[in-house]
Amino acid sequence: MSGGGHGRGRAGGAGADGGGGAVAGGRDRHSRVLPARPGRARVDGPAPHAGIVGGGIAGLAAATALAERGVGVTLYERDYGLGGRLAGWPVELADGSVATMSRGFHAFFRQYYNLRGLLRRTDPGLHSLTPLPDYPLRHSRGMLDSFARVPRTPPLSALGFVALSPSFGWRGLLRMDPGAALPLLDVRVPGIYERLDGVSAADFLARIRFPEAAQHLAFEVFSRSFFADPRELSAAELALMFHIYFLGSSEGLLFDVPREPFPQALWEPLAEYLHRHGATIRTATPVESVEPAGDGRLRVTAAGSTATHDAVVLALDTAGLRQVVGASPALGTAQWRGRVAALRTAPPFLVSRFWLDRPVAADRPGFLGTSGYGDLDNISVLDRWEGEAHRWALRTGGSVVELHAYAARTEFGRAAVRDRLLEQLHRVYPETRGAGVVDERHEWRDDCPLFPVGGHEARPTVRTPDPALMVAGDLVRTNLPVALMERAATSGFLAANALLARWGVRGHPLRTVPARGRSALLRALVGLGTR
């Protein structure tokens, strides 16, 4: 699932908010709408000014939501481009051509209503996205799961996956403990954290006696989305993912991908949109500290200069948030700063991209999740769906292949992981053994948040002890059923809405999957089982 999601088709309908609102209408009539807080349509009189620290999804959502309501916005981004963990940058290949490298494949689920709402600001029809026909999962023992034929209406979605999957046999099903699995049938936020945050994902699956092969081909997909070892990941996050994709919505587990690299498809148009709304974007400008100005405002020091803002949104990754808060000793309270300092990141991951001198077999999918192949977690054939890679493949007769290794085992060095990934590619797609490598790029990162066992309560919320300071990002704790990229986008809108409410301005409506299990029968079973 590669750091934040996959989803199929186009969410129909424009935003419900007349100002290009945050609601991206999905086809699921059961989705939950959080209405906009009432207030003035725009700022009256002198506009307040907000500093947004971080130009990833969360920061862009917050900046967009504020700028649309007439708030002055300065967005600070330490890198040269926007997008955060979905950024891209140009590289010159050995053949002299220029390509866009990134931190790897991400895909966009239909349940990502608020992220899609952000993208609709510049692309109302979401034509920058294209669906992949399936989400195949392959195990080294020969089993292949597919989500293309699985019903999408709960609870038939979960039952259909079990019935159609080769990973489930009658013996395995009979061994399962249905009582231990009850929490999956009626996931509620924040209640699911109260029930399961003290258990690891691995222990929870063992408690259910979930078939081993099905663990690899289904539930580990969710844990790998967090770049985490299931033994370290909170079972509550696993259960939340199950709710979002199986029993809470009808969009299923098929997904869209951008037709072009992230900057061209998504972030450059959004930057132009922000400029048109009066926002200032300062890239290559790392923020050093944020301190109270003494009058309710906040001073942001970045790249050696200081500016004062009426409010600030910290939309940073875990390490960035720790660094800025650690350098701002007067910010918030000591307890709040201590909680931020204790945040952890997930283990390092590797993205390896190869430009090969020959194509992979024509029947290879654009994306394949893998299990049982050592470090290899998935394979993307970019030229199947990304225009830039497709044009390179047409011109050269080759192919562009990307490999991911999450929670990578680096005890024998990083080069060994790279070598093992290529070996496993040859094992999964044997036709690549004889391919020449025109060029290759390897990106090591370790900046994804870790959601450890028992860590939910200590995670920061959108609001902080300082009413002028908000936090946004996929690391924050919300009381909404969202995760990964959608949590980043949703928290950015929530941060903006909280500030707009302070200034008496109307907020932006949001949408999520239902806040509880959709099936009344399953909810009743859970109620009986927990008495």
pLDDT at 218 over 80: no
| Contact call for residues 477 and 445 (beta carbons, < 8 A) | no
How many alpha carbons fall within 13 Å on the CB side of residue 372? 17
pLDDT digits (tens, 9 = 90+) for 379-430: 999 999 999 999 999 999 999 999 999 888 888 899 999 999 999 999 999 9
Residue ranges covered by each domain of the chain = 32-83+261-345+457-512, 91-107+126-132+346-445, 149-253
Average per-residue pLDDT in the chain? 87
pLDDT digits (tens, 9 = 90+) for 126-175: 999 999 988 888 888 887 877 777 766 666 666 666 666 666 665 666 67
pLDDT at 353 over 70: yes
How many alpha carbons fall within 13 Å on the CB side of residue 71? 33
pLDDT digits (tens, 9 = 90+) for 269-304: 999 999 999 999 999 999 999 999 999 999 999 999
Domain 32-83+261-345+457-512 part of CATH 3.50.50.60: yes
pLDDT at 9 over 90: no
Evaluated on CA atoms 32, 38, 42, 45, the torsion sign reads negative
- Give the pair of three-digit tokens for residue 435: 């391919």
pLDDT digits (tens, 9 = 90+) for 22-52: 333 445 667 889 999 899 999 988 999 999 9
Q: What share of the chain in percent tops pLDDT 90?
A: 66
pLDDT digits (tens, 9 = 90+) for 83-119: 999 999 999 999 999 999 999 998 899 999 999 999 9
pLDDT of residue 409: 84
pLDDT confidence tier of residue 15, bands split at 50, 70 and 90: very low
pLDDT of residue 528: 52
pLDDT of residue 405: 93
329-to-158, 326, 334 alpha-carbon distances in Å: 49, 6, 8
pTM (predicted TM-score) = 0.91
pLDDT confidence tier of residue 2, bands split at 50, 70 and 90: very low
Q: Which residue did the predictor score with more confidence, 247 or 520?
A: 247
Distance CA 155, CA 519 (A): 7
Phi, psi torsion values for 250, nearest 5 degrees: -105, 10
Q: Report the topology of domain 91-107+126-132+346-445.
A: Polyamine Oxidase; Chain A, domain 2 (3.90.660)
Average pLDDT over residues 71-82: 98
Distance CA 233, CA 227 (A): 9
pLDDT confidence tier of residue 12, bands split at 50, 70 and 90: very low
182-to-18, 177, 208, 517 alpha-carbon distances in Å: 41, 9, 9, 11
Q: Where are the alpha helices (DSSP H) in 304-443?
A: 318-326, 334-341, 387-396, 414-428
pLDDT of residue 254: 80
